[in-house]
Amino acid sequence: MGNEISYTVNKVNEDTWIIEEGGVRFFLLKGTEKALLIDSGMMIRNARDIAASLTDLPVSLLNTHADMDHIGSIAQFDSFYMHPDEEENYRQGGRGGTIIPVNEGDVLDLGGRRLEIIHLPGHTPGSIAILDINNRVLISGDPIQDGHIFMFGTFRNMEKYVESLEHLQTFEDRFDEIWPSHATLPADKALIGQLICGAKKILAGEAEDCAKEAEFHGNKVKAYDLGFATLLCNLG
């Protein structure tokens, strides 16, 4: 019993659940024909079983990206949706499973519930957001949040991050709320523009007054506390 992982299931409505596990969350969305997990937890290894306790519909998995805190239960699925640019990040350590590629503009139809893929490279090469079209909700993964955004180490690219946020702004009239994987839910749409401005200042060397060295998960980083979010970047 002492090894059980703590989590909570929050029911939004008859077709939507948010599962909170410590500092990360993932989502279960249901249509009339099938259900979809968006990410699968950090330490949790039974997200598919959690989903099965909430719906009798067949459950698939879609990954916003492949960082460790989002793929905890991925081994429960023989195949799963992921952007193909994320495969190198995912395959580290010999991880298996069949990737079903999803790309910018693809739409997954759960039966009366259509989800559009938006590619947001930068945090990782294959990071995606998911637009729940009829419900006007953007499930954003990690790039848009008011907490700590990891931009240090392998696969991170600040220039592409800024380009992705600017690309996301072209969708702003299609959603009312942002549901990130971390920190405050919902996040305000204004955060997108704030993150663009802050990231550009970091790139231009104009944010050093709000930077300090810190350590996260054994990594020495430069933490830029922008007031509305903190970007953790490589030293130097």
Q: What is the pLDDT of residues 143-161, one digit of tens each?
A: 999 999 999 998 999 999 9
Residue 225 is assigned to a structural domain of this protein: no
CATH of the domain at 18: 3.60.15.10
> 41: left (phi > 0), else alpha (psi -120 to 50), else beta?
left
- Sequence-ordered list of residues with C-beta below 8 angstroms from that of 165, at least 6 positions apart, any chain: 120, 122, 143, 144, 192, 195, 196, 199
Domain count, the chain: 1
Residue 224 is assigned to a structural domain of this protein: no
Q: What is the pLDDT of residue 202?
A: 98
CA distances from 235 to 147, 222, 232 (A): 19, 5, 9
Query: How many DSSP H helices and E strands does the chain contain?
Result: 4, 16
CA distances from 70 to 37, 165, 199, 227 (A): 11, 21, 24, 26
pLDDT beneath 50, residues of the chain: 1-3
Residue 222 is assigned to a structural domain of this protein: no
The span from the first CA to the last CA of the chain, in angstroms, equals 45
Closest by Cα among 75, 67, 74 to 24: 67
> Cβ(229)–Cβ(192) under 8 Å?
no
How many of the other CB atoms lie within 10 Å of CB of 101? Answer: 13
Q: What is the pLDDT of residue 236?
A: 72
Residue 175 is assigned to a structural domain of this protein: yes
Residue 106 is assigned to a structural domain of this protein: yes
- Determine the Cα angle at 103 with ends 99 and 107, to 5°: 100
> Cβ(10)–Cβ(20) under 8 Å?
yes
DSSP H/E element including 165: helix 158-169
Q: CA-CA distance, 61 to 79, in Å (whole number)?
A: 8
Q: What is the pLDDT of residue 1?
A: 36
Residue 22 is assigned to a structural domain of this protein: yes
Token pair of 229 as six digits: 């979010």
Residue 234 is assigned to a structural domain of this protein: no
Q: CA-CA distance, 158 to 131, in Å (whole number)?
A: 23
Which residues form the domain of 179? 8-146+154-204
Residue 236 is assigned to a structural domain of this protein: no
pTM of the model: 0.96
Q: What is the pLDDT of residue 24?
A: 97
